Amino acid sequence: QVQVVQSGAGSVQAGGSLRLSCTVSGRTRNSYAAGWFRQAPGKDREFVAAISWSGRSTGYADSVKGRFTISRDSAKNTDYLQMNSLKPEDTAVYYCASKNTGPFSRDSYYSGWVEYTYWGQGTQVTVSS
Per-residue pLDDT reduced to its tens digit, 69-117 = 999 998 888 999 999 999 999 999 999 999 988 888 889 999 999 999 9
Q: How far apart are the C-alpha atoms of 80 and 62, rounded to whole Å?
A: 19
pLDDT in the model for residue 1: 82
Is the pLDDT confidence value at 29 over 70?
no
What pLDDT is recorded for position 74? 86
**What is the chain's mean pLDDT, rounded?**
93
Predicted confidence at residue 9, as pLDDT, reads 82
Asked if pLDDT for residue 28 goes beyond 60, the answer is no
Question: pLDDT (tens digit, 9 = 90+) per residue, 30-78?
Answer: 688 999 999 999 999 999 999 999 999 999 999 999 999 999 998 888 9
The pLDDT value given to residue 104: 87
Which among 122, 99, 107, 117 is positioned nearest to 45, based on CA atoms? 122
How far, in Å, CA of 90 to CA of 24, rounded?
24
